[in-house]
Structure 1
Amino acid sequence: MEDRFAGIREFVAAVDGGSFTAAAQVLGVTGSAVGKSISRLEARLGVQLLHRTTRRIDLTTEGEAYLGSCRRVLEELEQSEAYLATGHQQPVGRLRIDLPTTFGRRHILPALLALGERHPRLDLSISLRDRAVDMVGEGIDIAVRIGTLGDHADLVARRLGEQHLVICASPAYLQRRGTPLTRADLASHACLAGWRRGNRPAWLLRNELGETALQEIHARHELADGDALLQACVSGSGLAQLPTWLAGEALRSGALLPVLPDIAGAAMPIHVLWQKTWHMPPKVRVTVDELLRLAAADSAVFAAAA
């Protein structure tokens, strides 16, 4: 009977090591044995997984698509073996996590690094970006997202809390330019906005019925990083709509003052998402549990954690 798993470990080791020789050293076999095992795997699949030259190996398009599945198979096998060896489920293997840039760096990354210290066999690959990702296609195990979620049948979501927005400015800016009192006043003020490719500058504002909607603004400055946006606002460059988890310290100290509270107080949900599987791997479970614990303990950041 043909072994459907034959060659997978060699394939992943060769990609990670960059050569058959490096894979052979890890696996304790010869380089030629690694090469033959991968060739048999390619023949069984009917596709070429690697481009081979005398100096290096590179993934083909098919190989890149297959690599993620192979990694997950090997990681689940490692987790199962750890469970059998220890008698209880330990988080083992590499966990790929995608976080919102500023929020993730400020409020989630420290907790994840501490979690890694408590679990020496848990390895983390963390990306920080403010765009939607294809979790399944990009092999992301866990993501934290701010905003309304779409309908994804292959993902599970748990609410962590809410992000609340406030329009604010420095005392120096308000003394120089005056305090806006109505929505129409925004047209005569220097507005600061986050920058994202392909999106026009906009703030999330409330109308008279309490409904929130994006309203385009004329932005004097656009900044792609939340900390940079906060710094520009504190320095007196203009008005900014900022989340309270970012502007809270500056508001408490008086470095920023809130304006237009009747239209500025929009809220956006914060969720943790992970891929739906028949068995939740221990590395995913322990990390989701840690994020839920963090949200419940830090109401100043997660506002309305559930």
Structure 2
Amino acid sequence: MEDRFAGIREFVLAIDKGSMSAAAALLGVTGSAVGKSISRLEARLGVQLLHRTTRRIDLTTEGEAYLLSCRRVLEELDQAESFLATGHREPVGRLRIDLPTTFGRRHIVPPLLALAAHHAKLDLSFTLRDQAVDMVAEGIDLAVRIGALGDYSDLIARRLGDQHMVICAAPAYLARKGTPRSHADLAAHDCLAGWRRTARSTWLLKDATGAIAPHEVPVRHELPDGDALLQATLAGCGLAQFPVWLAGDALRTGALVQVLADISGGTMPIHVLWQKTWHLQPKVRVAVDTLVALAENRPDIFDARSPAP
């Protein structure tokens, strides 16, 4: 019977260690044996995984894609064997985490780094971006998403809270341009927004029926993330719509002033997501538990409805 795992560990180690000889030293075999194992794996797959020279090895395009899957398979196997053999529940291994840029940097990265400080064998890899990615294809173990979820049949989601939106501006800007009183007034104002791939920028506003829906706004400046947007608004560059967790401090101190409260106030859910597996890996479990506890203890972040103190 064909061994579908043959050559996989050699392939991963050769890339991780930078050479077949280094992989061979770890496996207790010769470099030639490692090379032959990888060649047999390539023959079985019908693709070339590595570019080989006398000095180095490099991944082909197919090799890059296959390496990601191989790492996850080996990691899952190691975790499962440890779990079954000893009941070992210590979080170990690398946890790959994908987060919204500003929210993740401000509120999710710090508690997860604190968690890792208590678990010497837990390693973290963070990516920060504001668009959803295919967690399975990219090898993401855990993600936080803000907004409505799509059909994630291969993922598990737990709601952490809600993000509530406000529109605000610096007092100096309002003194110069006036305070908007209606949606129509926005046409005479400098609106600020995050950079988007689409041509139109929208804010969440109430329509004539009182329902919250995206409304197109005239945008003067586009900023790359929430922190840059906040700095531009504090500098008096225009009006911006923010989540309360981002603008709350500035609103409480008076550095920003809320406007259009009667037509703004959109709400978006905040979820933590992880991949479905036959058992929940300890490294994922402790991270989820940490974020659930954070959400319960910090309503100012996960359910902030008002900038009031």
- C-alpha spacing 1:151/1:80, structure 2 compared with 1 (3 Å): closer
Relative to the length of structure 2, the TM-score reads 0.93
Give the C-alpha shift of residue 299 in structure 1. 0.5
Distance 1:129 1:205 in 2: 25
Matched, 1:153 2:153: yes
Matched, 1:99 2:60: no
Distance 1:69 1:168 in 2: 45
Partner of 2:144, secondary structure, is strand
> 1:263-274 counterparts in 2 under 5 A?
263-274=263-274
Question: Do the aligned partners of 2:244 and 2:304 also contact (CA within 8 Å) in 1?
Answer: no
Distance 2:82 2:114 in 1: 21
Give the C-alpha shift of residue 202 in structure 1. 1.5
Matched, 1:124 2:124: yes
Partner of 2:263, secondary structure, is helix
Distance 1:278 1:223 in 2: 42
Distance 1:75 1:199 in 2: 42
> 1:65-84 counterparts in 2 under 5 A?
65-83=65-83
> Counterpart in 2 of 1:55?
55
Question: Do the aligned partners of 1:78 and 1:93 also contact (CA within 8 Å) in 2?
Answer: no
> Counterpart in 2 of 1:8?
8
Relative to the length of structure 1, the TM-score reads 0.94
Q: Percent of aligned positions with the same letter in both sequences? A: 72
> Counterpart in 2 of 1:133?
133
Partner of 2:197, secondary structure, is coil
Equivalent AA in structure 2 for residue 74 of structure 1:
L
Partner of 2:192, secondary structure, is strand
Equivalent AA in structure 1 for residue 303 of structure 2:
A
Give the C-alpha shift of residue 29 in structure 1. 3.3
Please say which of residues 156-165 and 45-54 is displaced more in the overlay.
Answer: 45-54
Structure 2: state its 5+ residue gaps. Answer: none
Question: Do the aligned partners of 1:272 and 1:288 also contact (CA within 8 Å) in 2?
Answer: yes
Partner of 1:3, secondary structure, is coil
Question: Do the aligned partners of 1:96 and 1:142 also contact (CA within 8 Å) in 2?
Answer: yes
Distance 1:245 1:53 in 2: 53
Give the C-alpha shift of residue 57 in structure 1. 1.7
Please say which of residues 283-292 and 2-11 is displaced more in the overlay.
Answer: 2-11
Residues 20-47 of structure 1 deviation map (CA, whole Å, 9 limit, x = unaligned):
1332344343322221221122233333
Matched, 1:233 2:229: no
Aligned length: 305
Distance 1:209 1:88 in 2: 56
Partner of 1:264, secondary structure, is coil
Give the C-alpha shift of residue 117 in structure 1. 1.1
Matched, 1:301 2:294: no
Partner of 2:131, secondary structure, is coil
Partner of 2:222, secondary structure, is strand
